[in-house]
Amino acid sequence: MRKQLLCLLALLCLGSTAPLFAQGRISGTVRDTAGKQSLENAVVALLHKKDSTLATFTRTDKRGAFQTAPLPPGKYVLLLSFPKFADLSDEVELGAGDKDLQQLALTPKSLLLNEVIVKANTAIRIKGDTTEFAADSFAVKEGATVEDLLKRLPGFSVNAKGEVTTQGKRVDKVLVDGEEFFGDDPTMATQNLSARIVDKVQIYDTKTEQQNLTSINSGNEGKTLNIKLKEDKKKGGFGKLAAGTDFTNFLEARALYNRFVGKKKVSVYGTRSNVNTGSLNWQDKQKLGMDNDTEYDEISGYYYSFGGDDGFSDWSLRGLPDSYTGGGLYSNKWNGDRQNLNASYRYNQLGVDNQSLKTEQNIPYRTSRLWDTRTTALSRQHAVNGKYEFKLDSLTTLTYKLAGTYKTSDQWTKTYSHFLSGISDTVNTADQERSNSSSRRQVDQTLVWKQLFQKKNRMLITTLRHGMTDDDQRGIVKTVQQFFPDNRPDSISILDQMRNTDGRSRTLGMKTT
């Protein structure tokens, strides 16, 4: 009986390891049909025939030879690619054991007849560190977004937050035709663009401007996803509308619309609320590239802060707010991408009405104090930001940045206080009115001249910055105090005070590195 059990266990072990022993490798040699030479570093990719997913890929050695990793038996599509040569695509069936394809020939594109039109139907192409997917080779349902398409691509995963991961790294930047798409939020493109307008999807290592100039990588780069649109589909629009009300006292509404035609992009938005500040939430600000007014130029070493704090993000959750927000953004590139312009305008208005009652008791001394305060405040702000960049040639770039704000604030406060001794004996009363008005005008300008040289890692950067700030403040305080010794009116104290404060600031700086 024991021998029978041992035999059965041995058969089960052999059966479970059979697929491992059945795996085989595909090998071959890639040569040039014209020069009769071996092609070194040619890309060799194998796709599963049933769903076009990537099985494995490798490159040829100095002799033009290649050998794949072990693969299970099945039908595959072999793809060969080499610069300036026509791609080769062929079906390969792998049985149990290795398979040698012998010599595989690639033809230079220069030898192809002009009358012959070669249409590549390659689902995946690998060029250097860039992997390119032909969107039409991956079936998606009708109405699918780019995010749905990415879920079909081999090696890609998308979580519930819309974050994309590929080749073990997170995609930290998503571009459309090589440009940011309405800000730096990746989901703006992946969740709003239709999969049917996509021509190709490219994935490559994210590199900073400094790394592009020096060709030095840190090894910790993320991934950049570039979505290339079909030529006749490079236009469209999408938006967002949200509103809520009790049809009596409370209202909150938010509208956002984006439109793009080629490299021209326009966004407009507006909000209205008497529930909170009514400003765009941080997600929408990030989508529009408005979440951070501070910019760092890693080459010049400058931090640029434009416009300052708008003062509308927090109203201390005290009182009844009434707010409006509106604005727009525009960006465009022309002259062969040598010139580009980004401009934005933003208007904020926030009014707050607040009334509070406060009572304070001192039990040991049997005294109490009562305050009744009413406050009304209104703030308005206009903000303009712009950036113009002109590439004079491949080595010289001129950049101009402008930021301007104009803000006004008015606040009126009336407070009545009553000081009691014992149960009902009045000690003193006070009526006070405070009014404060202020305005600020601020302009920041920056001009950057960037000159690269033919010698690697050599550059000259000159930065000129000019700033101007004007502040005006006016405050008025009126107080009437009445005193009651022995619980009878005795004297009155009156304070009537006005204070004006003006401030002017001018800055000018230059830096050359």
Q: Once rounded to an integer, what is the mean pLDDT over residues 403-413? A: 95
- 376 in Cβ contact with 424 (< 8 Å): no
Q: Once rounded to an integer, what is the mean pLDDT over residues 26-53? A: 83
Q: Is the pLDDT of residue 35 over 70?
A: no
Higher pLDDT, 472 or 369: 472
Distance CA 187, CA 171 (A): 11
Tell me, what's the pLDDT at 384?
A: 94
Report which secondary-structure segment, H or E, holds 466.
Answer: strand 459-483
Tell me, what's the pLDDT at 437?
A: 96
Q: Is the pLDDT of residue 181 over 90?
A: no
If you classify domain 130-233 with CATH, what class do you get? mainly beta
Q: Once rounded to an integer, what is the mean pLDDT over residues 232-252? A: 87
Tell me, what's the pLDDT at 97?
A: 85
- Which of the residue ranges 168-172, 207-211, 355-359 would you say has the lowest mean pLDDT? 207-211
Residue 113 CA: distances (Å) to CA of 30, 83, 92, 117, 118: 22, 18, 28, 8, 10
Q: What six digits make up the tokens of 94?
A: 């792998």
Q: Once rounded to an integer, what is the mean pLDDT over residues 333-354? A: 91
State percent of the chain over pLDDT 70: 81
Task: Give CATH 2.60.40.1120 domain extents, the chain.
Answer: 25-110
Distance CA 92, CA 95 (A): 10
- Residue 231 pLDDT grade (very low, low, confident, very high; cuts 50, 70, 90): confident
Identify the three-state secondary structure at position 70. coil
Higher pLDDT, 292 or 173: 173
Tell me, what's the pLDDT at 82?
A: 85
> How many CA atoms are closer than 13 Å to the CA of 470, on its beta-carbon side?
7
- 472 in Cβ contact with 321 (< 8 Å): no
Q: Is the pLDDT of residue 199 over 80?
A: yes
Distance CA 313, CA 273 (A): 13
Query: Residue type at 215?
Result: S
- 25 in Cβ contact with 68 (< 8 Å): yes
- Residue 188 pLDDT grade (very low, low, confident, very high; cuts 50, 70, 90): confident
Distance CA 441, CA 445 (A): 14
- 414 in Cβ contact with 374 (< 8 Å): yes
Residue 483 CA: distances (Å) to CA of 20, 140, 173, 372: 99, 82, 69, 18
Distance CA 15, CA 18 (A): 5
- Residue 304 pLDDT grade (very low, low, confident, very high; cuts 50, 70, 90): very low
Q: Once rounded to an integer, what is the mean pLDDT over residues 405-434? A: 89
Q: Is the pLDDT of residue 409 over 70?
A: yes
Most trustworthy range by pLDDT among 11-15, 53-57, 294-298, 344-348: 344-348
Q: Once rounded to an integer, what is the mean pLDDT over residues 344-349? A: 91
Distance CA 124, CA 43 (A): 11
- 397 in Cβ contact with 354 (< 8 Å): no
- Which of the residue ranges 156-170, 304-318, 367-381 would you say has the lowest mean pLDDT? 304-318
Q: Once rounded to an integer, what is the mean pLDDT over residues 38-60? A: 84
Q: Is the pLDDT of residue 392 over 80?
A: yes
**Is residue 473 packed enough to be buried (19+ CB in 10 Å), middle (13-18) or exposed (0-12)?**
middle
Identify the three-state secondary structure at position 34. coil
Tell me, what's the pLDDT at 305?
A: 45
List, in sequence order, every residue forming a beta bridge with 251; answer none if it has no partner. Answer: 245
Higher pLDDT, 304 or 496: 496
CA torsion through residues 28, 32, 35, 38, sign? negative
Tell me, what's the pLDDT at 366?
A: 81
Distance CA 126, CA 149 (A): 19
- Tell me what the pLDDT averaged over the chain comes to: 81
Higher pLDDT, 478 or 362: 478
- Residue 114 pLDDT grade (very low, low, confident, very high; cuts 50, 70, 90): very low
Phi, psi of 233 (to 5 degrees): -120, 15
Q: Is the pLDDT of residue 51 over 60?
A: yes
Q: Is the pLDDT of residue 196 over 70?
A: yes
Tell me, what's the pLDDT at 198?
A: 93
Does domain 25-110 sit in CATH 3.40.50.620? no
Tell me, what's the pLDDT at 457?
A: 77
Tell me, what's the pLDDT at 274?
A: 86
- 307 in Cβ contact with 442 (< 8 Å): yes
Task: Give CATH 2.170.130.10 domain extents, the chain.
Answer: 130-233
Digit-coded pLDDT (tens) for 74-95 = 888 888 888 878 778 788 888 8
**Is residue 203 packed enough to be buried (19+ CB in 10 Å), middle (13-18) or exposed (0-12)?**
buried
Q: What six digits make up the tokens of 8?
A: 């059965």
Digit-coded pLDDT (tens) for 421-465 = 876 778 889 999 999 999 999 999 999 999 999 887 788 999 999
Q: Is the pLDDT of residue 507 over 90?
A: yes
Identify the three-state secondary structure at position 338. coil
